[in-house]
Chain A
Amino acid sequence: MTTYSAPTRDMRFVIEELAGLGQINALPQYEDASLDLVDAVLEEAARLAGEVLAPLNKTGDLEGARIVDGEVKAVTGFADAYRQFVDGGWNGIAFSPEHDGQGLPALVGTAVQEMWQSANMAFALCPMLTQGAIEAVEAHGSEAIRQTYLARMVSGEWTGTMNLTEPQAGSDLSAVRSRAIPEGDHYLVSGQKIFITWGDHDVAENIVHLVLARLPDAPEGTRGISLFIVPKYLPGDDGSLGALNDVRPVSLEHKLGIHASPTCVMSFGDNGGAVGYLLGEANKGLACMFTMMNHARLTVGLQGLAIADRAYQQARGYARDRVQGGAPGEEGRVAIIRHPDVRRMLMQMRAYVEAMRSVAYVTAAHMDLAHASEDPAVCARHQARVDLLTPVVKGWCTEIAQEITSLGVQIHGGMGYVEETGAAQHFRDARITTIYEGTTGIQAMDLAGRKVLRDGGEAARALIVDMRETLEELQSQSELPAALAPALKASVDALDTAVEWLVKQGPKDPEVAGAVAVNLMMLTGTALGTWQIARGAMIASRQLAAGVGDSDFLQAKIITARFYAEQISPRCEAHLYAVLSGSEATMALADEQF
C-alpha cells in the first residue's frame, strides 16, 4: 500500500492561478491569507495528513468502529489522531476569529479539507460534520446557544452531527416523525434517527446533535419540521459538562466502506425525552438544516476529488513497481506504466483529478468573494455562481470518483480485487459519496430545477459568458496544444444548447427535468472541467514562456489538459445528445415491464 502525499504543488497552482488567491487576499477580511502564509499552512497540513491520518486509513478499514456496552469505540489510534487534529487548531481554519477560528478563506480550508479526506475519509467525516453543525449554530443559534457551543465546536473539543434521516424519511424529509414537546425553557425530544455519521464516539468529550423533529401543533409535511440542538452531555452555563442526556446509539450499520466512521442508529427520549433547544424559528427547521447541507454537499464533492486522488497515487505507485510484459523498443520485461493502456488509465485519473480540483477550488473562491466582497451586487453575483455550482461539484465529482477509483482497481489487475493492496478500499469508500448528503439524482434535480429553471437560465448564462471569454483568449494563443480551443468551444456550445433547451422544454413537461437532469449535471461538470483545465494550460504556457516556475510541472499540466480535451471533453456532446432526447423513452415502459 502506498502512503498519501498531498499534491501541494498542484494545489498551490490552482489556489493561486485559477481560484485567484490574490483577489481574495485583497479583501480586508482575508488580508492575512498571503501566498507565503498559505504555502506554510499547506505544507504543515500535508504533514499531518500524510504522517498521522493516512497511516490510520487501513487500520480503520480493517478494524471498524464498534459498539461496546452502549457506547461507540472509535478505531485504535483515532482518538490520538483527533487530539492532534484539535490541538493543531485545524478544525477552526475557516471559521470566524470571533469564535476562536483562524478566519482563513474557504479556499484555503477547501485545500486542507481535501488533504484530510484523501488521507482518511472515515476520520475526516467527523470534523466535516462538526463544521456543518457550526455553520448552522452560527447562523441560527440564539446568543446563549452561540455562547455555550460555538467556541468549543470551532476548536473541535465538541463534535457535531446531523440527525435528519428516519427509516421512513430518507430523501423525503416531509415524513419525519420525531417529536419535540416544550417544557420550560427547553424541549423534550424523542424519536429514532438512522444513518447518523459519528453519532456517538469516544474521541471528543461531547457531541452536539442537530435534530429535525416536529412540535406538537406542527403542520404536516416539510413546513412542520423544526431544528433542535441536543447535546450528549448537558453543558452548564460555563460550558462544564453535566448529566448525560436521554440520547444513545442503539446500533451501528455494517457498511460497504468507511468502516471507521460509526454510522449510528440513534434513539432519543427512551427515558422521557432528550433535552433540546430550538435552533432558528419553529417549523423552519428544514431551511436551517440546509445551511448545514450546502456546506456538507460541497465537502462531499470534495471527498469525490480526494478519494480519486488517493486512488490515483496508489495506482501510480503500483504501475511504477509492477513488472509485466515487454514494451516496444525496451529490453526485457517492463514496469506496467510503460504499457499504453495503463498510461491511458493513469492519464484519465490524473486529468479528472486536476479538473475536479480546479472546479471545486474555484467554487470555494466564489464563496469567499460572495462572503467578503464590499459591494452587495458583487456578493450576489458570486453567490449565484456558488448556488449554481454546488450541486455540480457534489454530483459530478462523486460520480467521477466511482470511475476513477474503479480504474485504480483495474490498474492493479487481480491484485486490485484483493484487499491487501488497498486499491479496493478506495473503491468501496468512494461508493457512499454519490448517496449521502443528497443522491446524484437529488443534486441533478437541484441543478435543473432550482438553479436553472427557476431563474430561467440566468445564472447558467452568466457562467457561459465567462466560459466564452476564456475561449476567445484561448483562440488567440497559438503555442498551446491544438485540441484545447475546439474542445472548449464544443463544451460551451453543448452546455449552452442544453440550458436553452431545458429552459424551453422544462415548463412544458413536468417529467422532462427529472429525466434529463443527471445528464445535464454531468455535461456541466465535464464542461467546467474543460474550461478550468484550459485556463490552467494557458497560465502554465505563459509561465513557461516567462521562464518562471517548475518547467516539468508546467509541461505536465499542459499535456494533461490536452488529454482531457481529447479524451474527456467529448463526453459533453454525448451528454447533450441524451439531454436533447428528452424523457420519452425513459418514461415509456409500464412499471411491470421493468
Chain B
Amino acid sequence: MKIIVCVKRVVDYNIKVRPKADNSGVDIASVKMSMNPFDEIAVEAAVRLKEAGQASEVVAVSMGVAQCQDTLRSALAMGADRALLVETDAELQPLAVAKLAKSIAEREQADLVLLGKQAIDDDCNQTGQMLAALLGCGQASFACDLQVDEDGLTVSREIDGGVQSVRLKLPAVVTTDLRLNEPRYVKLPNIMKAKKKPLERLSPEELNVDVSPRLTLLRASEPPRRQAGIKVADAAELVAKLRNEAKVI
C-alpha cells in the first residue's frame, strides 16, 4: 500500500496572529511557521503503518511557497520516505489544493491519501472531502482510529453523537482528528537523515491544474471585544432579560 500524506505549512499554533493594518488579510510576515498539527497526526499515522509493514512507501506532499520545504523536511524526519513540493507563490484555496492533490495521487498511484481534517489557519475543513469527490473514491473524515486489512480500511470517525465506524475500499481518503495518535518526538539522527532524502519540486502548470482563487477575501479584522457581563438578582430576572432584551427565548 502506497500512502500519500499532505502537509500544510501554517502559522505556528503558539503564535497569536493579528490582522494586517489595512485589513487585507492576516499578518504572517516573519511569523514562526510549522506543520499543521492535524497533518502531523496524519504523518504519524502513515509512518506507523509503514513501520507495521502495512504500507510500502510514504510520500509527503506540500503545496505553496518554497519554504514549505522545511515542513516537508519535518515529515521526512518523522519517517516519510520522500517528498514532493508543488511550488507556487499563488494563494491556494481548498479546491485548488484538492485538484493538485488529485493529480499527484493519480501520478503516484496512491492507495491511501492521509491529511489533517482541517488546517489551523483557515479552519476550512474542505480539502479532504473535495479530494475524495474529485478522485471518486471513498472517504472517512475525522478519523480517531484506523485499521488496515486485506480488503481495505476500518475507520472510526468522531461525530457529534459519538464514534462511527466505517469500512472503506482502497483507494481512499482519510482525514485525521486529534485523538488518532500522538505524534512522536523526532530523533536527532532522523533530522540529519531527512536532509538527504529526496524532495522533488513541481509546479501547478506541470500538473495542468488551474489554481486561481474562486473566493475573494473581503476583510480580515479582530473579533469584536467581548463586553463586560452583568449580575442578575434571580432566575426570574434572567429569564426576563433573555426574553425581553436578548430576545432569545
Instruction: Please give the residue numbers on chain A whose beta carbons come within 8 Å of chain B beta carbons, in ascending order.
Output: 5, 9, 32, 34, 36-37, 39-41, 43-45, 47-48, 52, 84, 87-90, 92-93, 102, 548-551
Contact = CB atoms under 8 A, between A and B. Distances in A.
B73 A87 contact: no
Interface in B1-18: 14
Given A9-B32, A40-B70, A551-B30, A89 B195 contact: no
Nearest to B196: A32
Given A32-B192, A32-B195, A37-B195, A44 B73 contact: no
Given A47-B185, A84-B185, A41 B191 contact: yes
A111 to B, nearest CB: 13
Contacts of B202: none
A37 B191 contact: yes
Contact of B192 (A37, A52, A87, A551): A37
Interface string B178-205: 0000000111111110110000000000
A59 to B, nearest CB: 19
A550 B189 contact: no
Contacts of B97: none
B31 interface: yes
Contacts of A90: 188
25 contacts: A5-B14, A9-B32, A32-B192, A32-B195, A34-B195, A36-B69, A36-B70, A36-B73, A37-B191, A40-B70, A40-B77, A40-B191, A40-B194, A41-B188, A43-B34, A44-B185, A44-B186, A52-B185, A88-B188, A89-B190, A93-B188, A102-B189, A549-B30, A550-B30, A550-B31
A88 B195 CA distance: 17
Nearest to B183: A47
B116 to A, nearest CB: 18
Contact of A88 (B32, B185, B192): B185
Given A9-B32, A34-B195, A40-B73, 14 more contacts: A36-B70, A36-B73, A37-B195, A40-B74, A44-B185, A88-B186, A89-B187, A89-B190, A90-B188, A93-B188, A102-B188, A102-B189, A548-B30, A550-B30
A183 to B, nearest CB: 40
Most buried by B among A45, A47, A88, A549: A88
Contacts of A45: 188
Interface residues of B, number: 20
Nearest to B30: A550
A156 to B, nearest CB: 11
A92 B34 CA distance: 26
Contacts of A47: 185
A102 B185 contact: no
Contacts of B31: 550
Nearest to B194: A40
Contacts of A34: 195
Interface of B: 14, 30-32, 34, 69-70, 73-74, 77, 185-192, 194-195
Given A36-B70, A39-B70, A44 B191 contact: yes
When A and B form their complex, which 5 residue pairs have the shortest distance between CB atoms, in order from nearest? A89-B188, A550-B30, A89-B189, A88-B187, A44-B186
B45 to A, nearest CB: 19
A48 B77 contact: no
| A interface secondary structure, majority | helix
A487 to B, nearest CB: 29
Contacts of A87: 187
A49 to B, nearest CB: 11
Contacts of B185: 44, 47-48, 52, 84, 88
Contacts of A549: 30
Contacts of B194: 40
A5 B15 CA distance: 13
Nearest to A9: B32
Contacts of B73: 36, 40
Contacts of A551: 30
Contacts of A548: 30
Contacts of B30: 548-551
B187 A102 contact: no
Contacts of B186: 44, 88
B62 to A, nearest CB: 15
Nearest to A5: B14
B192 A102 contact: yes
Contacts of A48: 185
Nearest to A88: B187
A118 to B, nearest CB: 17
Contacts of A44: 77, 185-186, 188, 191
Most buried by B among A87, A89, A90, A551: A89
Nearest to A45: B188
A181 B32 CA distance: 60
Nearest to A47: B185
A549 B34 CA distance: 16
A130 to B, nearest CB: 16
Contacts of A88: 185-188
Contacts of B191: 37, 40-41, 44
A25 to B, nearest CB: 13
A102 B189 CA distance: 7
B198 to A, nearest CB: 16
A173 to B, nearest CB: 36
Nearest to B12: A43
Nearest to A36: B70
A40 B193 CA distance: 12
Nearest to B195: A37
A39 B194 CA distance: 13
A77 B13 CA distance: 27
A107 to B, nearest CB: 15
Contacts of B74: 40
A110 to B, nearest CB: 15
Contacts of B187: 87-89
Contacts of B14: 5
A34 B34 CA distance: 18
Nearest to B67: A36
A41 B192 CA distance: 9
A48 B34 CA distance: 16
A551 B18 CA distance: 14
Most buried by A among B192, B194, B195: B192
Nearest to A85: B185
A458 B185 CA distance: 47
A9 B33 CA distance: 12
Nearest to B31: A550
A550 to B, nearest CB: 4
Nearest to A100: B189
A40 B72 CA distance: 11
